[in-house]
Amino acid sequence: SSLLISLLQSCQAGVTQWAAGCSGLLQTAAVPGQCRWMLCSIFQRHKAGPFQLSKFCGGLIQANGAITQQNRSFYNTNKHLSTKDSFLSSEEKVGAFTRILEAMGFTGPLKYSKWKIKVAALRMYTCCVEKTDFEEFFNRCQMPDTLNSWFLVAQLHVWMCLVRLKQEGRTGQYMCRYIVHCMWEDVEQRGKVMGMNSTVLKEDLKKMVENFYAALFGYDEGILCDDRVLAAALWRNLFNRNCDDPRHLELLVEYVRKQVQHLDALSGEDLLLTGEVSWRPLVESNARSILKPLAPVYKDEGL
């Protein structure tokens, strides 16, 4: 009987320690409104025994830290947001009515006029296709001078603009959608000017759309990871797996990194109002010449 009593006391002590550890973990992982409910569920699991409780807490710890899978480490932030929180800044928080409108496909109130944002988006896309030296890309990277090669280089610059604009809240996301709309309109018009058959052009546009969204995922992963992942994304999407010279990949990786850094230096207000962006040259004559660009002048006459 004394042995049974000691075993029960040790089991109860172990459960108490696990409950205390889980309560501390929940206070950092959950929001205050959910902490009471989750703690109640933990103490209800006390009847299931310490093994089930240990399994439950192990799942919380695994979900709160870094998960290693197939020799690749994926980091999960330890800050869990509730439905009341938002990934946007405090000035971007919207009410329930606006969320319902956006869920129905409508656009809620934006920071600036929609017409101003559309004009800025068109100007930004124009900067992507007119301020980029496509001939230099074709020559240095040994790419064929075709509509598809032009589109691959253009979509790389459009993607970099989308990465920058997504940092500007709901207004930036609306501008992203219109930039992509302008891109598809331009691609279709260029295909018609080149005299492509409407059926062939439709099939090519369908393939371009699929490749575009696949490239977005690859580039996003590459910009968040190391240069090897970014080089693999460029090799798959920009070069169509036809690059045998690693120097070309090295040149493009350096180009993407410095362009993203260059765009980050631009003011978000100026981007939303003007849409003016500039691009660093493919080959830098002076690697230390990347400075903060001058702020553009915004004129809203007639808007």
The total of other beta-carbon atoms located within 10 Å of residue 99's CB is 12
pLDDT band at 287, cuts 50/70/90?
low
**Tell me, what's the pLDDT at 171?**
87
The three-point CA angle 169-174-179 to 5° equals: 120
Using the predicted structure, report yes or no on whether residue 160 has a pLDDT greater than 90. yes
Residue of 35 and 262 predicted with greater confidence: 262
The residues with which 141 forms a beta bridge, in sequence order, are: none
Residue 73, beta-bridge partner list: 68
Tell me the backbone φ, ψ of residue 101, rounded to 5 degrees: -60, -45
User: Which are the contacts of 171, defined by CB distance < 8 A and separation ≥ 6?
Assistant: 110, 111, 112, 117, 272
Buried b (16+ CB within 10 A) or exposed e, 230-240: bbebbbbbbbe
- Residues 123-145: what's their mean pLDDT? 94
Burial category of 252 from C-beta neighbours within 10 Å (exposed 0-12, middle 13-18, buried 19 and up) = buried
| Selected residue with higher pLDDT from 141 and 297 | 141
Task: State residue 68 phi and psi, 5-degree precision.
Answer: -105, 125
pLDDT at 154 > cutoff 50: yes
Separation of alpha carbons 220 and 212, rounded Å: 12
Confidence of residue 114 (pLDDT cuts 50, 70, 90): confident
Nearest to 271 by CA among 284, 262, 283: 262
- Asked if pLDDT for residue 232 goes beyond 80, the answer is yes
pLDDT at 38 over 50: no
pLDDT for 297 equals: 61
Identify the pLDDT of residue 9: 54
Confidence of residue 207 (pLDDT cuts 50, 70, 90): very high
Kindly report the average pLDDT of the chain as a whole number: 74
The pLDDT, as a whole number, for residue 113 is 83
pTM: 0.64
